[in-house]
Structure 1
Amino acid sequence: ERPPAATQDGPLWSDGSVDPHSNDFWAQSNITLKTREQLTDLTVQLRVAQTGGVSDTGAWRSLPEHDFTLTVAEQDGFLVYTWTLKEGRTVPAGEWVFAGQFDHDRGGRDAGADRYTVTAAAGAERLSVGGGFAAVDDDGDGGGDDS
């Protein structure tokens, strides 16, 4: 069963998932946001647990790159990606993806300790969503190769 990874706060909805293209050496964590209203403030933070060999290999978002400041830092046993909407920029209503990419020690990586948090503003309304990451290949046998 997939753990509940989607959350909602007013016009803002989010979901965290491990990208299906992840493999035994590399992974991508996807944060999908849907907003029914224009956002005037947005901070997306992805916290990837240091499960061994976790190192940043990049990040992207489906919104314009120049609208955001991105920082990547090691913090308290996590690799932390933070996207912050620049002053005066807005996010239109729609569906948007933020993704962090990283290498890790060989083998299936457990994303169970990974978390994301999103804070936003739509008009005078402050919004906050967040959660964990549902594994794409969660067949209940604890991983391993199905050969």
Structure 2
Amino acid sequence: MADDDVRAQLRGAARAHRPDRARMLARTERGMAGSSGSGAEPRRRAPSRPWPRVVLAAAATAGALVAGGYAVATVVQPPGPGKVTTRPAGPAGPGEDRPAVPAPPPRTEDGPLWSDGSVDPHSNAYWAQSNVTLRTERPLTTLTVELRITQTGGVLDTGHWATLPSADFTVSVDEHDGVLVYRWTLKPGRTVPAGRHVFAGQYNHAEGGRDAKDDTYAATARAPDGASGGELRVRGAF
């Protein structure tokens, strides 16, 4: 009977026993770590961080990245469509190109006065002659003819002439600002008769064919008694 009582008590204790699984697992891990023989310390699990701190830290990191990205984009982003860079207007500095002053348009005819500019066909590879031809339907009481030859290299005056009497004109030849200028001015009290008249300037130039596209001429005149309604002006190129 005594043995039956003992067996009954053991069966009741066994049924009432609940094993502590957490403690068993911890012991098993410690046993495995100790038996590895590597001498390494057991790995410790990092303590968990309360979730509010985790959220705040992530938000701060994201904010820093966004701010940094905006700063980089601001520096390296090229101007988009519609963005124009300007600078204050002012005089051009050394080395800056200045806008070219456009030449006045040709005006080869004014009332009774007609004009034309041409390079004489007898010009050659070293020497040339430029002709200004005027035709007037009325006598002229004043007349000034100006022939401008651009310095293209080696341009040097060699003479001039006109079909009108040389004693009726004052003639000058000057070079300034890279231009050789011939000027005929009718003397006071003299008159240019109606008809066709030629004024020619002669000059040497650098060897080869010379381009006369930048050469120009101009003439101003007045007819007696204001028959043309005032001063006459003509101008052109070659």
In the superposition, the TM-score normalised over structure 1's length comes to 0.86
The residue number in structure 2 matching 1:81 is: 182
Q: Greater share of helix residues, 1 or 2?
A: 2
The residue number in structure 2 matching 1:119 is: 220
- Return the offset for 1:6: 7.4
Cα RMSD for the two superposed structures: 1.3
Taking the aligned partners of 1:108 and 1:118, their CA distance within structure 2 comes to 27
Q: Which amino acid aligns with 2:136?
A: T
Higher RCO structure, 1 or 2 (CA under 8 Å, sep 6+): 1
1:9-40 CA-partner distances (Å, limit 9, x unpaired): 00000000000000000000000000000000
The residue number in structure 2 matching 1:35 is: 136
Q: Which amino acid aligns with 1:117?
A: A
Taking the aligned partners of 2:158 and 2:143, their CA distance within structure 1 comes to 23
> Is this contact kept in 2: 1:41–1:120, CA < 8 A?
yes
Q: Greater share of strand residues, 1 or 2?
A: 1
The residue number in structure 1 matching 2:151 is: 50
Q: Which amino acid aligns with 1:132?
A: A
> Is this contact kept in 2: 1:6–1:16, CA < 8 A?
no
Taking the aligned partners of 1:33 and 1:47, their CA distance within structure 2 comes to 16
- Report percent identity of matched pairs: 64
Q: Which runs of 4+ in 1 moved over 3 A?
A: none
Structure with higher Rg: it is: 2
In the superposition, the TM-score normalised over structure 2's length comes to 0.53
SS of 2:108's partner is strand
Unaligned runs of 5+ in 1: 134-147
Do residues 110 (structure 1) and 207 (structure 2) align? Answer: no
